[in-house]
Amino acid sequence: MMHRTQSHCRKYLKRKKGLTSSVKGVSHLSRRAKRRLYCKLQLWMWRKRREKCSFWILRAKKRACGIKSSSCLSVKSQKNKSKVVSSPGCDTGGSEDTLTRLKQCESVSLSEMFFASKPPQNWVTDTTVSASNVSVPTATSRKTLTQLGEINDSLRHTVKPLSRDSDGHGLTTQFKKPRTLAERLEVDAPSGQLTAVPPGQDQPAHRAAVDRITSKKSASSQSDVSLKVLTKDIHEFLDDFYRSYGSFIPLQKSDVLRHLKRRFNADFIDRKNVIFPEVTKYRDAIIQKPVPSFRVVYKKHTLTLDDLSTLADQNWLNDQVMNMYGELIMESAHHKVHFLNSFFHRQLMTKGYDGVKRWTKQVDLFSKNLLLVPIHLEVHWCLVTADSVKKRICIYDSQGNALQKVARNILKYLMTEAKEKKQTAFESGWTVSFDEKVPQQTNENDCGVFVLEYSRCLALGKPLQFSQKDIPKIRKRIYKELCECKVHEQG
């Protein structure tokens, strides 16, 4: 082989001799010597590659046949170079059984052995090669010829490409361990986007992995939000809130947390001790500033900040708040419900039917499904309803008073109205009832709020499922609805 290589080099040099121009100061002899040295270097590199390839083939055959060779290799290191050599006198299993297995390994097809015998530069097997020693795993049992195919198949599925060691000297390899469902979810879905669980997978494990990923994502998002950024966003939110509602009366803690969650896509419940003190501090600073004129105008209704302030704490509601909210209720019910003005009953009692005759000139009360009449009795609010379909008048009182006199006044008015509008079907057949199972108040200040909530639930067809403890939240919600000029169906 050496002779053929040298002969080839000589022929190559003779062909190129005429084409190679002489260089000043360098003889042809020196250039020829350099080329010869280059050919020798190429030959030496070719031999090293062949030795390396033979080493991989031999090791793969030994591993496939189960030959113990852990003590056959050692490593000699010099600075940044490492060289693998065979230890003299090492025991490679020289028994007849070993030779038989080696011959059996030779019968394995080249296509099956190629994967294990010729790994790429960054591919690794189950051996760890370092600067000090080389360890090769030993087989615990003998393999027959029929099992060689299974061994090669397992190698294909367990060996994976990895990068070199940090020191760049050797290759490290390990068999790939099957990942659990939770591990696959954490690795394959770092952004929290999880796919459906395949059939047969463990559902509890999937849920646990989802929760763990969600919690990690939330914790990471919270840590990314610095205190300075969080404080700035809280201040901007409070400024916008104050401009929209004129005060902080309807502000709830959940509003701040909901805004931050929507803004940063993270849950800040664990940072309440930082958020709420900052909200209180900045809110008090804004309140001390001069308050600009704030008004809410809707159709013929106008609310000032003083009117809206009646919804704060346990204040009594005034007529402006009652009447505008009644207008919003009619809009939300698509005008299938009519809400009479809070001054209607007082005018009816003082001037009779003639005093309120013009109030319904543009409205056909008997075409509505429900008639809502707020009643103000000096220091108390209650509600009287008239169902045109069932021809029934009902009293809703948050203090449990059966105001039969008030109900009869409304009945008399409806019968007169039907006669005046020539609605003979409604001139008789009305019944009066009192609903005793409605939510009741436990103080002397929230009767007006109860009347508005009665009216809202009845107009929207919702059950009366609220109590005294819900009134603070209901006050805040009504305040927002008045400023937004829209009744929230949910809430």
pLDDT in tens, 396-443: 999 988 788 899 999 999 999 999 989 889 988 999 988 878 999 999
Q: What is the mean pLDDT of residues 308-334?
A: 95
pLDDT of residue 188 exceeding 50, the answer is no
168 and 245 fall within a common domain: no
Predicted local distance difference test score (pLDDT) of residue 173: 41
271 and 394 fall within a common domain: no
Contact of 139 with 186, CB cutoff 8 Å:
no
Cα distance from N-terminal residue to C-terminal residue, the chain: 92
Residue-wise pLDDT for 109-135, tens only, equals 334 443 444 444 444 334 333 333 434
Residue 48 inside a domain? The answer is no
Residue 113 inside a domain? The answer is no
Predicted local distance difference test score (pLDDT) of residue 52: 84
355 and 411 fall within a common domain: yes
For the chain, what is the domain count?
A: 3
In this structure, which long-range contacts are made by residues 218-227, counting pairs with CB atoms below 8 Å and at least 24 apart in sequence?
218/266, 218/267, 221/264, 221/265, 221/266, 222/264, 222/266, 222/267, 222/268, 222/270, 222/271, 225/264, 225/266, 227/274
Q: What is the mean pLDDT of residues 145-156?
A: 45
319 and 417 fall within a common domain: yes
Predicted local distance difference test score (pLDDT) of residue 4: 58
Predicted local distance difference test score (pLDDT) of residue 394: 94
CA gap 82, 84 in Å, rounded: 7
Residue 204 inside a domain? The answer is no
Domain that holds residue 168: 119-178
308 and 263 fall within a common domain: no
Full-model pTM = 0.56
Strongest mean pLDDT among 83-97, 165-179, 306-320 = 306-320
User: Which of 65, 105, 382, 447 is labelled catalytic?
Assistant: 447
Predicted local distance difference test score (pLDDT) of residue 484: 95
Residue 97 inside a domain? The answer is no
Q: Does 447 qualify as catalytic in the annotation?
A: yes
Contact of 156 with 113, CB cutoff 8 Å:
no
Q: Which of 269, 287, 305 is the last residue of a domain?
A: 287
pLDDT of residue 475 exceeding 60, the answer is yes
User: Which of 380, 387, 470, 485 is labelled catalytic?
Assistant: 380
Amino acid at 32: R
Q: What is the mean pLDDT of residues 209-238?
A: 71
CB-CB neighbours of 326 under 10 Å: 25
CA gap 308, 304 in Å, rounded: 6
Strongest mean pLDDT among 46-60, 298-312, 432-446 = 298-312
| Per-residue confidence band for 19, with pLDDT thresholds at 50, 70 and 90 | very low
**Pairing status of strand 337-339 against strand 370-377:** parallel
Report residue 342 as tokens: 């809070």
